[in-house]
Amino acid sequence: MSFQVRVRFRKALLRRSEQFFFIVGFVLLGLCAVILAQAWFFQAYESWAFEQELRGAPLPSSVPNLPKVDFELTADRSIVGRMEIPRIGLKAMIREGVSHRTLALAVGHIPGTALPGQTGNVGIAGHRDTFFRSLREVHPGDAIILTTLGGSYEYRVESSEVVAPRDTRVLENSSRPELTLVTCYPFYYVGPAPERFIVHARRAAGD
């Protein structure tokens, strides 16, 4: 094979490679857009339906009823309530469970932890690149409001820390009403993050 033939072959191979990676990148961007759109529509609908339930307004017959939460035992994927941190603009519906499907659409109540309003440690997990992206901006004293069909409860941030993924002490039960938020860390890490970012909060006095 002559030198010119080899050069032409390499150029053709590079062009094909560029086309291939362009197509792959375009497909991946499309998948990301679909996932984000699905999460947005889920949040929009569930937030609307949740507001209807709070107001006691009946849902249209063509719309399935919002799953009721039994505050003794919640079913996986049922709606637990809504979480808000006003200062950082965080607002998300809370779904029961921490499966991949659940965390793709909402933040998840960690099974085995207390439910909002109960005495004990309420555990809520979320992805660092979606719903909990702004959690890096949280400060001590920030209000965290959990609203359920049983009531609205305000917690105040006390501290934050970074722990190893297997450090489950942060979710240990407590004799006082607490809230623990869990997400991956670092926030801008590419790939599976090596650590966890934890926010500790306590229910506001008199709430």
43 & 125 share domain: no
- The verdict on residue 73 lying in a domain is no
- The verdict on residue 124 lying in a domain is yes
Catalytic position from the list 32, 109, 139, 184? 184
User: Mean pLDDT score of the chain, rounded to an integer?
Assistant: 83
Nearest residue to 132 via CA among 193, 90, 176: 90
Q: Is 127 a catalytic residue?
A: yes
- The verdict on residue 97 lying in a domain is yes
Task: Tell me the per-residue pLDDT of 150-162, one tens digit each, with 9 for 90 and over.
Answer: 899 999 999 999 9
- The verdict on residue 62 lying in a domain is yes
Number of other residues whose CB lies within 10 A of the CB of residue 160: 16
Q: Is 32 a catalytic residue?
A: no
Task: Tell me the per-residue pLDDT of 100-134, one tens digit each, with 9 for 90 and over.
Answer: 989 999 999 999 999 998 899 999 999 998 999 99
Beta bridge partner(s), residue 21: none
The pTM of this model reads 0.77
CB 185 within 8 A of CB 191: no
| Cα 106 from Cα 50, distance rounded (Å) | 14
Catalytic position from the list 100, 127, 139, 200? 127
Angle at the Cα of 30 from the Cα atoms of 25 and 36, rounded to 5 degrees: 125
- The verdict on residue 84 lying in a domain is yes
Range of the domain at 33: 1-66
